[in-house]
Amino acid sequence: MYNSDGIEEKLLKAPNGMIFLVLNTLLILAALFGFIVSIPYDYVGIMIICMLYAFIVGPVLYIGLRSLRPNEAYVLTLFGKYYGTLKGPGFFYVNPFSTAARPGVSRQQTAITNMNTPADKTAHSSVSATLPDKKISLKVMTLDNNRQKINDLLGNPIEIGVVVIWRVVNTAKALFSVDNYMEFLSIQADSAIRNIARMYPYDVTNDDDEKNDDEMSLRASSQEVAEKLKKELQDKVDIAGIDIIEARITHLAYAPEIAAAMLQRQQARAVIAARRLIVESAVGMVEMALNKLGENGIIQLDEERKAAMVSNLLVVLCGNKDAQPIVNSGSLY
């Protein structure tokens, strides 16, 4: 969907920083000792070399020390070019002239800004992050999208919200292919859920008494909708080096302006279904009663009496109130 500039992640194999720290410290102490020893002999060249290393070169080399915790990474640049990515927990030493690339917007600033913005005035959500700005988190993170008002396939306004479980898998693309990968992910999540919601109705209605098992809806086919949402979102954020682990709908409801009408419609449909079941069961019970009376020879009824009996039984079985029995002590006819 997007054209990538071909940036691929390059892992750095940095030496142990503790070894360099000890070695450089010893060299600085040795340079100071050499400077002091050279003073009585007036060795100007040695004195200059020792001073340069002790006060300029040695301290500059300390800049190359980097420490990382688990699931953290540094994306390093050298004189404006991508130098490599430092991953893995530990204490390392890299080129002191390399600098850690910074995302377009501070992650901590993004979280604070979104926390102070009302939910109805922003279309994006915050992603909590407490790491330093120059470190890239490789942990699995959650994007909790705010509720959006969208029209479904039938044009009904609905409110929908999603949660996206994601992580960074290509740090070079995350920093150099997009301006800010977190904001990019949030915008693409909004776009993806709008596209998916317009493809399905909120719920499937079977007004013609014909059920179509292949017809999908947002409410009844949550698993299929989630898989399609994940696939579409993954295609959109591949350029940013992001892997979508899971995308789920967390909130789904009719918009407030039509919620009452839709509730009445659902209630009416439930009443019709219940009445249909009652009638079907009552007809079965009447048929069973007539068959039992005929098989056992308890009583012989003509068609007119059978019709009257069927009418009375249906009234009793299908009525909303309990029937009041009437005792007839006279003859049958």
pTM of structure: 0.66
Highest mean pLDDT among 16-25, 39-48, 203-212 belongs to: 16-25
Gap between the Cα atoms of 333 and 322, Å rounded:
27
pLDDT digits 0-9 by tens, 29-44: 999 999 888 888 878 8
Local confidence band at 261 (pLDDT 50, 70, 90 cut-offs): low
Gap between the Cα atoms of 180 and 110, Å rounded:
10
pLDDT digits 0-9 by tens, 58-97: 999 999 999 999 989 999 999 989 999 999 899 999 999 9
Domain boundaries, the chain: 17-100, 107-254, 261-318
CA quadruple 258, 261, 263, 269: dihedral positive or negative? negative
Extract the runs of DSSP E, i.e. beta strands, from the chain.
65-68, 72-78, 81-87, 90-93, 99-100, 135-137, 141-144, 148-151, 157-168, 242-254
User: What are the residues facing 299 on neighbouring strands?
Assistant: none
User: Domain spanning 107-254: which CATH class is it, in words?
Assistant: alpha beta
